[in-house]
Amino acid sequence: MSTQFSRAEEKDISIEEKLRALHELQTVVSDGDKIKTLRGELPLEVQDLEDEIAGLKTRLTNLDEEIKNLDTSVNNKKIAIKECEALIAKYTEQQNNVRNNREYDSLSKEIEFQNLEIQLSEKRIKEFTTETDTKNELVESSKAALTEKQDDLERKQSELEEITTENKIEEEKLKAKSEKIESFIEPRLLGAFKRIRKNARNGLAVVTIQRDACGGCFNKIPPQRQLDIASRKKIIVCEYCGRILVDKNIGEVNVQE
């Protein structure tokens, strides 16, 4: 026979009824945990792939901008070379009309300087070109990695969607059931349940006595304390792990159908 009570009747709820509610809530949320386990690491893997893809796209954008800047630098150096060549032609022509050796030597130095500028520009062009080639190789490898990651993402998203779809109805039922049970548990006790569950490695906040030990941490429970737990007169927690302890027969009567 089910034991039912409403928030309005909260003052009349016995400790035993509270323990039954907590135990059933634990059973329901544990069933939900099992479904999440079926999904395994897929949600995390999907998130990691999405992050990697975003990173690769950012890298490609940055590489594209860097290559454009290198192309601009190469073009600027080519323009500079043409300007130097124009000056060399101008100074060479002026040498034909100099009036003395001093002017001739001065023009020769200018021509020599412009030739050095041309050599420096050509050197920089080679460096820019080499750097561009390296970045183009990075672009190709990044594009290949992006394609691979996108294919992996599509496959894992498909797997995750398939698993999620298969279990969606069951998860919705469990969620509705857990919310219904939660509505019968006082906020302070429900908060304690959720806090213990969050800190527990296996998500168990309520455990039964198994072979005279806590079903969560497996530390031995003294006989007198087991009697107190079985009496269901007060809420008792494990002194070792902090989980709420109930006797193994607590689930024989359901709180809610």
Q: What per-residue confidence (pLDDT) applies to 166?
A: 76
Q: Which domains does the chain have, with CATH numbers?
A: 7-39+186-252 (1.10.287.1490), 42-167 (1.10.287.1490)
Cα–Cα distance for residue pair 1/96, rounded to 1 Å: 119
| pLDDT for the residue numbered 136 | 97
| C-alpha dihedral, 134 to 137 to 138 to 141, nearest 10° | -160
Quick one: three-class SS letters along the chain? Answer: CCCCCCHHHHHHCCHHHHHHHHHHHHHHHHHHHHHHHHHCCHHHHHHHHHHHHHHHHHHHHHHHHHHHHHHHHHHHHHHHHHHHHHHHHHHHHHHCCCCCHHHHHHHHHHHHHHHHHHHHHHHHHHHHHHHHHHHHHHHHHHHHHHHHHHHHHHHHHHHHHHHHHHHHHHHHHHHHHHHHHHCCCCHHHHHHHHHHHHHCCCCCCEEEEECCEECCCCCECCHHHHHHHHHCCCCEECCCCCCEEECCCHHHCCCCC
Q: What is the pLDDT, as a whole number, of residue 40?
A: 76
**What pLDDT does residue 1 have?**
31
Q: pLDDT of 138-189, one tens digit each?
A: 999 999 999 999 999 999 999 888 888 877 888 889 999 999 999 989 999 9
Q: Which residues does residue 244 pair with via DSSP β-bridges, in sequence order?
A: 206, 237
Cβ atoms within 10 Å of 111's Cβ, excluding its own: 19
Measured distance CA(5)–CA(118) in Å, rounded = 92
C-beta separation of 77 from 125 below 8 A = yes
Phi, psi of 240 (to 5 degrees): -95, -45
In angstroms, the CA 205 to CA 195 distance is: 8
Which whole number is the average pLDDT over 94-114?
A: 94
Mean of the per-residue pLDDT values for the chain?
Answer: 90
Residue 36 has pLDDT above 60, yes or no: yes
What pLDDT, on a 0 to 100 scale, did the predictor assign at position 187?
Answer: 93
Least confident of 48-52, 56-60, 241-245, 247-251: 247-251
Beta bridge partners of 236: 245
pTM above 0.75, yes or no: no
Reported confidence tier of residue 251, pLDDT bands at 50, 70, 90 = confident
CA gyration radius, the chain = 39
Find out whether 225 and 247 touch, Cβ atoms under 8 Å: no
pLDDT tops 70 at residue 6: no
Cβ distance 79 to 121 under 8 Å? no
CB 87 within 8 A of CB 113: no
